Amino acid sequence: MEPGYVAILSLLFLFSLYRLLGSHHGKINGENENKQRLPPSPPAIPVLGHLHLLGKPMHATLARLAARYGPVFSLRLGSREAMVVSSADLARECFTEHDVTFANRPRFPSSLMLISYDGTTLPTCRYGHQWRNLRRVATVQLLSAHRVSCMSPVISGEVRAMVRRMYRSAAVATGGAARVELKRRLFEVSLSALMETIARTKTSRAEVDADTDMSPEAQEFKKAVDEFIPLASAGNISDLLPVLKWFDVFGARKKIMAGVRRRDAFLRRLIDAERRRSLDNGGGEDDKKSMISVLLSLQKSEPEVYTDAVIMALCSTTATTAEWAMSLLLNHPEVLRKSQAEIDAAVGTSRLLAADDVPRLGYLHCIISETLRLYPVVPLLLPHESTADCDVGGHHVPSGTMLLVNVYAIHRDPATWPDAEAFRPERFEDGGCGGAQGGRLLMPFGMGRRKCPGETLALRTLGLVLGTLIQCFEWDVVDGGDEVDMAQGDGFTLPRAVPLEAMCRPRQGMVDVLQKL
């Protein structure tokens, strides 16, 4: 047997012995009141605790455990104690009454720490002075309502470019309908808008690869993200059993580092190019500055806070929700037709949907809300960690407990969401889109002080992209199939198991507009 495995087995044996002796000692002396009030827990095994119970996808496994042990239960994940919350009321209690207590983040050295520049990103930063600085910059300098409005022309331009390419593909396709892989299209438009807003840099549209339908920049960045996103989760075994990190038994650390290096090289080129551009131009008006330019200005006064690593950490995007929304619309053509009718009535067919039109499209917002309910981008949110003892739902929660909020289960709770598994955008028409209504809680971007500050930008971009696709094209399942397969993939986010492909045909009433793009 290899020496490394002998060492691992020896340590596991000693730790098992320690746990068993500790358990025996506790039985002799009796449990104290707090331990008696801990949340219910499944039977555990030595060392691993409940790790053997966790299957993929993790949010679905935890939802099944919640059905058996209740809306709040505890798990021992290797060396970590965790509490899983799967009800709206308990989630609201954690993020209102105990918001400060759960404002911290646990550290995961082999996964999230590597991806998040050792925990210096806004989502993963420890609660304290650094987090307050980053939060202030994000909400005031980068993602304020005014700056998001200033980004709208850029995003609109990238959406127009995407539609133009799709129309030209359909125009030369047999039967006037093109087969498109929407994940690639959506990733390309998201990255193009991202590069324009953060660095005033355009992708090489003239060099779009015919096979991948993506620019070289989009291919490079997507390859890096695809390498490490599936590995970025709280369930990484070496994070939960720290002794394994010295051996990297599953090779996860090496894979993550390879993807991170590729991503960092890409983003560093953007930063260096913007730094040179700022020196050449001598600055500019704040409204016209890119995100990176704003951060570089702050770096001059506080270089120890706004390092290049922090700047790179604030540059991220996803097209996951738009892909799920289109999947749902393909399976529910009546919803697609109703949304097209709304857009035709509000915008007409003589021009493309504009960013200013999106707030007036109530049913489109209902579609987005219902998509986020069924397929939240991060189904378990980012893990929180308690910094003091507290009580949740009448149960004692010790300091240092990791909190996992199963948004996926909360959004599909049949006790609060009638016909919870069904796609019904109309459920949001009466009570508005988002927030709490009738005791229900929609929280795809989190809740409390650690809520994602990019919600406004994400919803505005999603509304414009999805609304334009609905306005400009008729959509159908490929190869005459009945339905799109809605199988979920694995990973920290909630990807589709298979990238979405669909047939798109220009809508007859929009042909004149599309020809002029």
Sign of the dihedral through C-alpha 291, 292, 297, 300: positive
The one-character DSSP state at 126 is P
Q: What is the distance between the alpha carbons of residues 464 and 356, in angstroms, rounded to a whole number?
A: 9
> Phi/psi at 481 (nearest 5 deg)?
-65, 165
Measured CA to CA, the distance from residue 231 to residue 250 in angstroms comes to 11
The residue assigned the tokens 């003892």 is: 389
Rounded-to-integer distance, Cα 502 and Cα 489, Å: 19
Q: Are 475 and 504 in contact (CB under 8 A)?
A: yes
- 130: burial class by Cβ within 10 Å (0-12, 13-18, 19+)? middle
Establish whether 452 is an annotated binding residue: yes
The residue among 421, 403, 426, 425 whose CA lies nearest residue 411 is: 421
Q: Using an 8 Å Cβ cutoff, are 335 and 329 in contact?
A: yes
**Pairwise CA distance, residues 351 & 375, whole Å:** 31
What is the Cα gyration radius of the chain? 24
Cite the annotated binding site for heme by residue number: 452
